[in-house]
Structure 1
């Protein structure tokens, strides 16, 4: 058995820079001190192992802004570094909002003082100063914690930080950032990694070329009104990405990760013309291309229009991105290696492509996932059957030529995450409006101003804006994303010397609050477990988690559970899952209830009807199940998270945000008074 394992770690942030050159969000800086150096550093501890990293142009450009300007182009850091006493109330609110954005369990809780401050609503000056410093320290990755004397000293100090401490910390972190890109360059030259790029502003390139492609991918998709072909912009997005890569790394890229794995035949042809030899996307594209749901197809090598296409193993990739953070590191690595072993036994020459967001998952792991990666890389290095391979080293022989290529992305093989809902379509329509109305004035501009206009158009085409618009994802920073998107189109009118249309000053996104997606139980329940809503009153007073409104950037894949209802009475706990029951029964095999206070998970099979030893389940119009309270071991409070496992052994956790608290027979704290 011989298996070739190819990792691609995708490093990306959208363009947070406004027309004045200021970054409105600090995520590039925060991931720079936590992930962008640390991920290749962890790999470098195993010199015989190889991997591929994708660095997007928007990320590279913003890292270089910090190299050139320090904190002076970052809105957050310019406020953070000021004396707390000089801050206005609105500035304090902005800082506090960002400082409370870190995941509590993995980043806040390990720092005792941070955990105390996290739950406060009002801050004195000394408390706010501590909050600011602890927030940045929490974002410092393991490399900095092991190698920076400043970070080590301030972590040990733990509280009572001074303005001098803030200045010393920021100076040390800003000196660290210029080491990041050269480190990738050195690993590229040594041959341990290959590097790839993405079209310049991370656009959904097939939709720029032809918006009708979205309807070809999914005929049910509602298209924006009066679409324009932005094929010229698509070519510029690729040209500028290659140009920047050459400038930074001294050579042309051979490979490219299309933003969001979005591909179609026209974009592949464009990539080939630009000298790109390989791209990658999701296995769903291959299955739709070949009109087959056969899982093992993705372990072969394919090409279309002379461009090699790597099709990611979806369950394996998502296990690292979403599932393993809930497991002990040894168990997670054991599961990963077991799956590779099973694949290898079925295929004598398997190529397994694991493609994962290289930055956003790790803050949900313990210790920024370092323990997981060290165990994973050690296991692979000791394996006699698994070899890690760079994408640049993929053999050209033995490739199967695809006669066609289904258009779509890494999410369900469609483009619906970026077009189809009213907010997403409105954003596209504003781009088309701006293109049409400024075209004549643009042609009369000097070359320098034309270039500035083009930059704003390319920035407005970034996939991230369309990701956040609509009902499928939530962020506490929707208003900031919305403002940034519209600011690029406003700047185009201003550069063209034209009045700005009033509709560009109106919010695209509708106000929504993720807190409304969770309701706690109000009253005891009496449910007939029959898989139907027997009466309106049956689930009245139940707790509810609306997963469809609580999705975040970490949950790109559409989730099977839309809503979870839960409640109890004196003897039984009740649960209800709102799902597509037909899909649920065909694709999923079991439900595990993980109670933090209980030693073992409670397991229910996914089937039409089940009843045994105090456990009852029925799937009909919905999934309803009941659990006898004898399993609660007389606990008064339990913390629960459901794990729903499909037949490919990929799991979805509900709720997405973590555990729900179940206070048995005590509803008083949940009543609205």
Structure 2
């Protein structure tokens, strides 16, 4: 029997618990941040409304219980956040503090997609960027503030709703917004939010959608069972001083999620999205006991479980597809579970890379990726003789901010193509596993303990700041355990505070690995949940709970924190490089380092390109203070290939300049011409075609396609940057080091 290639999309909708438990809530309201409201207006409803236009396409959406609770607060009108409070305040009554807050935070959005398309909003943003916040506060009129308050909220309304007559009128109006306008814009937010849960229920009842759930407040279940689980993937991991072992909390989170789901959707859930796709043998009996039928995780977890690394060819197609593209059976004492593992790379292409491509090209590329998978599974026959399932699972909200029109053109093109393609069939996970039960068994005790991040838990434990947070949580949990009279019935406030503090999001932001301009707020929210637990038990709040877990200062050198796709124009857009790695250069590092007209180096990747940026010292110019030639050299330490010396004269005989390199990209900073060379026989250099781009302005920005370098995915390499003039060496960056790069 011939089969199409079955594909299961799973969209994960989640936001941290922004609701404060402080007795003295902030002046702007009890919600510290607005992202549930704004993402709810922009991302949750439109995703399924677009899908509804194509009834033959079935998908899965995961709604985290703590997200649902926050959406319901906004719909009920009981949620206030500082952004919302400012929006609804008459501009004549805005305090100086509120004006400062507005000038700083009401451009919190991707300016390419949410600000620049709207001329009035873009003009106010330009003023803030060119003149600074102080100038804005001193020079903006009350009407400027009113327009900014309106546009911040208008820009987050999804383009799918722009044909609404009221919204269309506001978009055409452009400026001159009144308090009444702003009130009606917020009412429109609430109207959109009110449709989210009913629309998901309607489409699930129609059979087009499967809605799944997550443990109540999105905790890392394996770490609740035992923080020593961190050492499964990282045996030498530094653990918290106190071991957290409260496996009973797993069933509590699952039971609360189950009850909430049945109440909102009128049926029991079938699938579980374990928070951060984190699994371990210890959690499986509880998942099965609660009644779940399947769960999902990441290919890294499957790879660790099978002791198999999923290598890919140059296009990114997995070499052993039969291992990845199938569900597995997990046998537990409480019953069997099915588990699917997502294709990490395909998920990341949607999440981090396709937004930088023209929508039709991006959709075509994804279809091509799926067709390549199908060809690899045919094993010489002309059709698929077995039912294979490709799982694509990712964050269903944050990526769309970087797509033109919030991803609408991309998704419309993708869905129309899939709708017309008889060889690819979109299914829910439950549809597939019920029709084609798993034929391969993974012994439950063999399942690897890990998450979607490298198959480990290092994002949530092991760092000194993360470990301090775990010690605070362990002490609070033990305090609750010391009060057996405090049950969920007699003292629900204590238990709700515990559940909130057990959420994964606080640990994500602590320490190294991730950072935002809201780190201090996440730190505060975590400690407010802990403080509320102590208060509910009439226990004194420990001093360490009153102090920040870590000092939130501006950072120096750090590795990349995510994919980037900057516009290459020499302007060094702050948002474009937000998640890039950074290395301070020369005098910026202190007096013990040599002086350089280059202030810092930024670097990052996506699935298409490597990116480099060099910031100039104030007033420095190429051809004057800065040598006019830039040389980018690529060093492959673990590969057998032709290599050659750097093709410059007056080169010092010192490492790493005396290494031999395989690729050399040259840039003339004055003419902005580019050339690429590859090492050949007899230590020579051969010219190669390149589609690299350069932009020179207030900085230098460069993008180099991976296709030019012909490096397979998952490769490791290192680079150095050498400045020259007339073919003569002048200096290199960074000092005494090579920059490590991982190819996605």
Q: So what's the TM-score if we normalise by structure 1?
A: 0.83
Aligned residues: 617
Q: 437, 440, 449: which is aligned to 1:400?
A: 440
- Distance, in Å, in 2 between the alignment partners of 1:449 and 1:584 is 68
Q: CA deviation at 1:345?
A: 1.0
Q: 46, 69, 76: which is aligned to 1:68?
A: 76
- SS of 1:187's partner is helix
In the alignment, which residue of structure 2 is the partner of 1:316?
A: 346
- Decide whether the 8 Å contact of 2:261 with 2:269 is kept in 1: yes
- Distance, in Å, in 2 between the alignment partners of 1:610 and 1:226 is 59
- SS of 1:370's partner is helix
Q: CA deviation at 1:516?
A: 7.7
Structure 1 range deviating more: 158-167 or 47-56: 158-167
In the alignment, which residue of structure 1 is the partner of 2:474?
A: 432
- Decide whether the 8 Å contact of 1:323 with 1:651 is kept in 2: no
- Decide whether the 8 Å contact of 1:24 with 1:76 is kept in 2: no
Q: 359, 371, 385: which is aligned to 1:341?
A: 371
- Decide whether the 8 Å contact of 2:672 with 2:694 is kept in 1: no
- SS of 1:416's partner is coil
Structure 1 range deviating more: 108-117 or 49-58: 108-117
Q: CA RMSD in A?
A: 3.9
Inter-CA distance 445–2: structure 2 relative to 1 (3 Å threshold): closer
In the alignment, which residue of structure 2 is the partner of 1:544?
A: 600
- SS of 2:499's partner is helix
Inter-CA distance 519–224: structure 2 relative to 1 (3 Å threshold): closer
Q: 491, 513, 517: which is aligned to 1:450?
A: 491
- Decide whether the 8 Å contact of 1:565 with 1:575 is kept in 2: no
In the alignment, which residue of structure 2 is the partner of 1:44?
A: 52
- SS of 2:89's partner is coil
- Distance, in Å, in 2 between the alignment partners of 1:511 and 1:249 is 41
- SS of 2:203's partner is helix
Unpaired segments ≥5 residues, structure 2? 311-317, 378-383, 559-581, 617-621, 642-661, 727-744
Inter-CA distance 83–210: structure 2 relative to 1 (3 Å threshold): same
In the TM superposition, what are the counterparts of 1:123-162 in structure 2 within 5 Å? 123=137, 124=140, 125-146=142-163, 148-162=164-178
- Distance, in Å, in 1 between the alignment partners of 2:197 and 2:680 is 51
Q: CA deviation at 1:140?
A: 0.7
- Decide whether the 8 Å contact of 1:57 with 1:201 is kept in 2: yes
Over residues 108-136 of structure 1, what are the superposed CA-to-partner deviations in whole Å (9 max), with x where a residue is unaligned? Answer: 11111111211322142221211111111
- SS of 1:272's partner is helix
Inter-CA distance 635–500: structure 2 relative to 1 (3 Å threshold): closer
In the TM superposition, what are the counterparts of 1:136-285 in structure 2 within 5 Å? 136-146=153-163, 148-285=164-301
Q: CA deviation at 1:98?
A: 2.7
- SS of 1:110's partner is coil
Over residues 67-101 of structure 1, what are the superposed CA-to-partner deviations in whole Å (9 max), with x where a residue is unaligned? Answer: 2225x433331232111222222223333333121
More helix by share: 1
* 1:113 aligns to 2:104 (yes or no): no
Q: CA deviation at 1:574?
A: 3.0
Q: CA deviation at 1:291?
A: 0.6
Q: CA deviation at 1:365?
A: 0.9
In the alignment, which residue of structure 1 is the partner of 2:32?
A: 24
Q: So what's the TM-score if we normalise by structure 2?
A: 0.75
- SS of 2:437's partner is coil
- Distance, in Å, in 2 between the alignment partners of 1:90 and 1:200 is 36
Q: CA deviation at 1:637?
A: 7.9
Q: 692, 702, 707: which is aligned to 1:640?
A: 702
Inter-CA distance 650–570: structure 2 relative to 1 (3 Å threshold): same
Q: 326, 341, 348: which is aligned to 1:300?
A: 326
In the alignment, which residue of structure 1 is the partner of 2:631?
A: 574
- Distance, in Å, in 2 between the alignment partners of 1:378 and 1:248 is 31
* 1:91 aligns to 2:91 (yes or no): no
Unpaired segments ≥5 residues, structure 1? 524-534, 617-626, 655-661, 666-673
Q: CA deviation at 1:434?
A: 1.5
- Distance, in Å, in 2 between the alignment partners of 1:391 and 1:593 is 49
- Decide whether the 8 Å contact of 1:449 with 1:495 is kept in 2: no
- SS of 1:394's partner is helix
Inter-CA distance 461–520: structure 2 relative to 1 (3 Å threshold): closer
- Decide whether the 8 Å contact of 2:615 with 2:699 is kept in 1: no
Over residues 38-80 of structure 1, what are the superposed CA-to-partner deviations in whole Å (9 max), with x where a residue is unaligned? Answer: 100111111111100000001111111112225x433331232
- SS of 1:613's partner is strand
Inter-CA distance 486–536: structure 2 relative to 1 (3 Å threshold): closer
* 1:509 aligns to 2:555 (yes or no): no
Inter-CA distance 547–438: structure 2 relative to 1 (3 Å threshold): farther
- Decide whether the 8 Å contact of 1:265 with 1:405 is kept in 2: yes
- Decide whether the 8 Å contact of 1:7 with 1:354 is kept in 2: yes
In the alignment, which residue of structure 2 is the partner of 1:390?
A: 428
Inter-CA distance 267–632: structure 2 relative to 1 (3 Å threshold): closer
- Distance, in Å, in 2 between the alignment partners of 1:492 and 1:420 is 25
- Decide whether the 8 Å contact of 1:211 with 1:229 is kept in 2: yes
- Decide whether the 8 Å contact of 2:328 with 2:339 is kept in 1: yes
Q: CA deviation at 1:449?
A: 4.9
- Decide whether the 8 Å contact of 1:126 with 1:160 is kept in 2: yes
